[in-house]
Structure 1
Amino acid sequence: MSRRHSTAGWSTAFTAAMTTSVADTALLTAARRLLDTSADPAPLNVNAGFATSKFPLPDGRAARPRLLVDELTAPQWERIEQAIADRPDALSIAGTPAISDLLADPATTARIAVVPQPTDISHTCTCTPARTSPCVHTAAVGLLLAERLRTVPAPLFTLRGRAHHHLRTRLRTTPASRSRPRTPQPAPTPHQRTTAPALAAPAAVPIPAPADLDLTRHQPAPTHTLGEPPGPLPEHTALVTLTADAAHRADRLLNGDPVPHDPDTGTDLVRLTALPHGQHLRSAVMNHLNLDTVGMAHLTLAHTQGGPGGAAAYLYSFTVDRDILHEAQAAIQSLRPAPLATIEIEYNRITDRAVGIQLRYGPDSRWHPYRNPYGIWQPVPGSHADPARAYQAARAAARPDRRTT
């Protein structure tokens, strides 16, 4: 008979790997004492490839340890996700942050271990210049992470290079009848941003010869309905839409209203579908951007609340300078209801799962707040250049409206 699902096994397996990498019982004992006696311990930050925190030193400086973990490759993650998606109980064991420790067994994840092995773990810390060996601070980070994994294993997925929400999205969109294995697709690297699929270019056709027009006589205006234009020109409906959109932009310019510059096709499409002359394209835009009805609604909301920058923050993952992310994390720390809970940082996103808040940094240099009341991140009003203000907006969005009508 199969055992009941639990999450504790993640912590047990990670603790075993981490303690083996430290290989010093006295050092581990000192690390436990450090955590027990810290008056104001810093939060644990989990990033792709490393977990970090900070601890005060006797000389007034702060030690900034990093527990480094080898990331899994994109093909490895593809095999892991496919193995999980092929299980009939996939949603129940992996569809929430409480991921069953059944998956801590490599036999269930295509013989690829999600839990790092001792040889996958290394240590660096600023307590001693250029230190690359275990110290009390890196051991404390490992113990702190192991304790977090006991109830919420999702940060381990981020640590190994692919956040858990990627798997959740795949499980939600995989039909009940298991799909055939797909060709592995590489995940976005840190120097790339993910983009919507490009539209296929039309086949090249020769330019037709010019028509022989008589411009010396009066030509009556046509009163009948014109047929579809010859290929490869857009269809009549598309031409009407393009003309209406050009007129809309011109009208805004003539009235002194700024015309936003949409940085890419995806954000321009959502702008178009929000206008009366573009609403009929909604289904086509959903297909082009690979969005379902809920996703399209959230994208429209992101554009309404944050403009093109908000839509881009919803659609894409951007590489952001680490200093920007760490300054933002420091700015929101005093506002967090659970200041010791894990912070996850992935690309342009800072996630505080303990309270269901995420901030996404957009190409407009503003932080766009998100909440996940139903398990799916959705934009809320209050984007701001100051991450603290955006975080406060996300918290305010969670409070019930006590106004009376």
Structure 2
Amino acid sequence: MTRHDEDTERTFAALPPAHGRGFAQTWWGQVWLKALEDTALDSAQLKAGRRLARAGAVGAVSVRPGRLTAVVQDRDGTAHRADVLLETLSPGQWDRLLDMTVERAGHVAALLDREMPPHLVEDAAAEGVELLPGLGDLEPECDCGTWDHCGHTAALCYQMARLLDQDPFVLLLVRGRDETDVLADIQSRSGAAASGSSAPEGVDAAEAYAAGDILPGLPALPVLPDEPGVPPSLDTETPPAPGVDPAALEFLAARTAARAHRMLAEAFRGSFGPEPTVAQDAVRLAAGDPDRDVADRLADGSGRGRDGLATAVRAWRYGGQDALSVLDEEWRIEGGALARARAALESAWDADERPPLRARGNRWTVVGAPVQLRFGRDGRWWPYRKERGRWVPAGAAAQDPATALAAAELAAGEGAAL
């Protein structure tokens, strides 16, 4: 029988400051923060918590069933013990969750890959088990005396979102069981299910086959190589046929191998992206650092010219097709998207810290500064800076506009220094 130690505890070293990045990159980390932000009554405390977490003021985080604990330092150096409580699952809820997980092999594989697929959470909810917290589930306790979420407990929650990004088993621990117990219990239940499905001795072969219980399992997936393969060299003594450029063919074969490797990786993760257009594919090829002749042909074929292609390649390297769309498209934000964008901008800074922004479509330019924020259709913010009169990407996307703007300002400062 698996032992469930209620005193199990993990301590995570203090994380570095979060400058230039958001607090939650995964969808489950974002749900965790939504539970905090929807519950807290004082938005000023949330902003204070974000500032403290960004500054690296949250010490080592202790995670145990039902409770998170950390020491958080104010700007004046005063230290406070902050706790956040979350109800643990009952034994019956754990049984339902683990039985459901065993029945769906993909859920086990995802957890082992440190991912939490939406279907796992949805299937758990269907069994009456809420894995992720909802409104009012994150209960704060702090020695500063604030009865609601204060800046210290908010900062702890923001750091917890970063920990959840790295390992969703941390959520299972705070819900009551650590990784070792969960995996041992899953293995035990899987073994019991397998032993109970064997066909009884003496059953007719046709009946047993029709039952499907003794069919052999699927073969193991092939191992994806770490790097794409290297195409054969076309450098031979035989002269090429008229109109054939061996160097261009070698480059195209190498990029095709790289794209095939990426598509296989996406297939393993179950997350195919949309097919790039011809113009986008030209940028993808140019991002492979072709020689000058091939790069010139791609610049002409893409219709961007050499400078425009260089800017597009920079965007591609920051975020692929999504980043390229943000570079190329200026669109009018309406309805719910506009409301979400405005709410994000309002909550990102204190009123006296918010920079003056001039809006045009999905682009917000800081008045009097060579930096800009662009709002993507997926709700993320992309940093841009002005370079030789042209707006160029300055970093990867962020969920938080203040984080994106910090990246743009940093890039603009580095560019000015050069």
TM-score category of the 2 structures, normalised to the smaller one: 0.3 to 0.5
Identify the structure with the greater helix proportion: 2
| TM-score, normalising length: structure 2 | 0.37
| TM-score, normalising length: structure 1 | 0.39
